[in-house]
Structure 1
Amino acid sequence: MFELRRLRLLHELALRGTLAAVAEALSYSPSTISQQLAQLERDAGVRLLAPDGRRVRLTEHGAALAAHAARALALDEQIRAELESLRPGLAPVRIAVLQSAARTLVPNALTLLAERAPDLRVEVAETPPEEGLFELSARGYDLVIAEQYPGHTREHRSGLERDVLGSDPVRIASASPVRDLASLRTHAWVLEPRGTAAREWAVQQCRAVGFEPDVRFELADLAAHVPLIAAGHAVGLLPDLLWVEQPALRLTDLPGSPAREIFTAVRRSDADRPSIRLVREALTDAFAAR
């Protein structure tokens, strides 16, 4: 019989690509990972891994078993969700959340949960959507709050279920009034790091009106954008969800008044867990009450 924890190690290796990455994600030593996968090979009776330079790769048998492992882990979650619904008490929920939602949406949702399910433990980590969605697939989190910008689609990972919370307008933020986006071609800009959906989308907005933004400040922390803009050192594009209170900045609509989509994602096999449903309902209500 295959042991589920060893199947998870193979599943993690298929996702992360290296034994070192699996060891870091699961807080094991690489030697422990290697030993457990060697035992899984003995259980399977076939080679699952093959040397590939200084790394290892999955053999054809290894890839096939990794696909079965993903289904076995999903079934295990479905069973646990059904058992949880039949007994008192709620399993903890681990949430990955983008920064702007962590400032506004999550505190209000936690207040609702304190009233509706006071015994429910919710653990929250601020995590970029790209990383959060990956870790959700890898079972590092139970729920992710992420974003999608208009015209900029995110990869749909198999086994994940999305639920849209609503739309969040993105506006030009500046220290003084501006006429329109095109008038900012000579200004310094503050944007999120390269490779993020927010950065790519912002650059596309500038290019659409005929210029390349002069990005002098690259900061992942949106809250750090605000004082730079307020002091007149830069302009930027900021979402409304960032504001806990009335912003001390000038906000100007972009052409077409675009808005990003805020959504939650969970593993489909985990969607019926009572604790997951409670958290999603609280997030939906908190977003609607903004």
Structure 2
Amino acid sequence: MFDLHRLRLLRELKHRGTLAAVAAALSYSPSSVSQQLSQLEAEAGVPLLEPVGRRVRLTEQAEILVAHTEAVLERLERAEADIATSLSEITGTLRIASFQTAALALVPTALTLLRDAHPRLRVHMTQAEPERALPALLARDFDVVVAEEYPGSANPRPAELEQEDLCEDPLRLALPAGVAVGSGESAQRRGPQAALMRLAGHPWVMEPEGTAARHWATALCRAAGFEPDVRYESTDLLLHLRLAEQGHAAALLPDLVWSGRPPTVALRQLPRGQRARRLFTAVRRGRGRHPAIRAFRDALREAAAVG
């Protein structure tokens, strides 16, 4: 019989990448993690790790064990959810991660609804972009993640995670203050591509290289016929807005950035098929039935409907 604790350490190593990262996440020493995994190798009777430079990687047999561990942990997630459902009150701690604009525009309202309906539920929220939050969800650092998906930039969907759609968030071209690209019927006739092209020589602000938002924004500009002059990079969309307000850069902004307030810069529609990003929540498979997660998702949907 395999020891579940050691199996979980092997799973953590798969998701976190190094013994040091596993040790730091679980408050163990690296030597303790190494000893536990050596004992698991003895139980399995086959090598589970092989050196690659200064790191280690899982063998084929270790990957088999991790796959079975995922199935066991999913059953345990379901068991925890069933026990919580049997109780008359939602209690405990819910750890959520959310990207910036949802954290500003939706999560506070959802927290208010949760506080009123379930006062004994403790919520811990971390602002994190999907590129970091979704792997951390797999590593059990969070219970639920609020994430985004840009047009043409489908996120990987690991089998260990369950996604649920939240809403669509419209995306628009934000014109730099003092820069006109036309308005009225003539601008409508020229269309969204022309509005983008008129800004080909203007500085742009975008999210950093490697993010889904940057990939989408760059592809959008290239489809309009130019390479954007990206002079400012930040994951902070409020900074994007401020640079557009002061005429320093063109930007591509989602409607959530306004949080229900009137826009402070001129906006133009984007080409068809590029006009909204998908917002969704993700949890580990088997955990979606947990009453705290159901309550948070319900509150988030209500916040999105109000906003």
Q: How would you bin the TM-score normalised by the shorter chain?
A: over 0.9
SS in 2 for 1:36: helix
Does residue 181 of structure 1 match 2:196?
yes
Q: Deviations over 1:123-180 (max 9, x none)?
A: 1111111211111122111111111112221111112111111111111112244331
Give distance in 2, aligned partners of 1:251 and 1:26. Answer: 47
Instruction: Indicate conservation of the 8 Å contact 2:204/2:249, yes or no.
Output: yes
Q: Deviations over 1:33-88 (max 9, x none)?
A: 21221222233333222222222222232221111111121111111111111234
Query: In the alignment, which residue of structure 2 is the partner of 1:199?
Result: 214
Give distance in 1, aligned partners of 2:56 and 2:151. Answer: 39
Give distance in 2, aligned partners of 1:242 and 1:28. Answer: 41
Cα deviation for residue 237 of structure 1 reads 0.3
Instruction: Indicate conservation of the 8 Å contact 2:181/2:198, yes or no.
Output: yes
Match of 2:262 among 236, 242, 246: 246
Does residue 162 of structure 1 match 2:163?
yes
Letter in 1 for 2:271: P
Name whichever of 39-48 and 258-267 sits farther off: 39-48
**Structure 1 unaligned spans of 5+:** none
SS in 2 for 1:158: coil
Letter in 1 for 2:290: R
SS in 1 for 2:170: strand
Give distance in 2, aligned partners of 1:24 and 1:190. Answer: 36
Query: In the alignment, which residue of structure 2 is the partner of 1:271?
Result: 288
Query: In the alignment, which residue of structure 2 is the partner of 1:34?
Result: 34
Give distance in 1, aligned partners of 2:168 and 2:174. Answer: 18
TM-score (norm 2): 0.90
Query: In the alignment, which residue of structure 1 is the partner of 2:187?
Result: none
Alignment: residue pair count: 290
> Percent identity among equivalent residues?
52
SS in 2 for 1:65: helix
Query: In the alignment, which residue of structure 2 is the partner of 1:20?
Result: 20
**Structure 2 unaligned spans of 5+:** 183-194
Instruction: Indicate conservation of the 8 Å contact 1:90/1:274, yes or no.
Output: no
Query: In the alignment, which residue of structure 2 is the partner of 1:233?
Result: 248
Instruction: Indicate conservation of the 8 Å contact 1:10/1:37, yes or no.
Output: yes
SS in 1 for 2:286: helix
Letter in 1 for 2:199: L
Cα deviation for residue 214 of structure 1 reads 0.1
Give distance in 2, aligned partners of 1:151 and 1:28. Answer: 41
Measured on the aligned residues, the alpha-carbon RMSD in Å equals: 1.6
TM-score (norm 1): 0.95
Give distance in 2, aligned partners of 1:99 and 1:5. Answer: 35
Letter in 1 for 2:112: T
Query: In the alignment, which residue of structure 1 is the partner of 2:78?
Result: 78
Name whichever of 157-166 and 99-108 sits farther off: 157-166
